[in-house]
């Protein structure tokens, strides 16, 4: 079950922002690639 243990551990080490990153595509040599990153507030539930 996914949880926030990694993010909470980084927050305790002093990191204020953690970005989640994903990409989709065939790769830069075979075609277009789209990448996105998102940063959500630590206390966000839902």
Domain layout of the chain by residue ranges: 5-38
Instruction: List, in order, residues 6 or more apart from 22 with CB less than 8 Å away.
Output: 35, 36
Alpha carbons 19 and 38: distance in angstroms, whole number = 6
Residue 46 has pLDDT above 70, yes or no: no
Query: What 8-state DSSP symbol labels residue 4?
Result: S
Mapping DSSP onto H, E and C, the string for 21-43 reads EEEEECCCCCCCEEEEEECCCCC
Tens digit of each residue's pLDDT (9 = 90 or more) over 4-44? 899 899 999 999 888 888 888 776 677 788 889 998 887 77
**pTM exceeds 0.75, yes or no:** no
Q: Which residue has the higher pLDDT, 18 or 45?
A: 18
Separation of alpha carbons 11 and 43, rounded Å: 12
């Amino acid at each position: 079950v996914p949880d926030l243990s990694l993010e909470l551990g980084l927050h305790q080490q002093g990191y204020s922002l953690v970005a989640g990153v994903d990409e989709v595509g065939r790769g830069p040599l075979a075609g277009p690639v789209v990448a996105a990153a998102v940063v959500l507030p630590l206390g966000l539930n839902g």
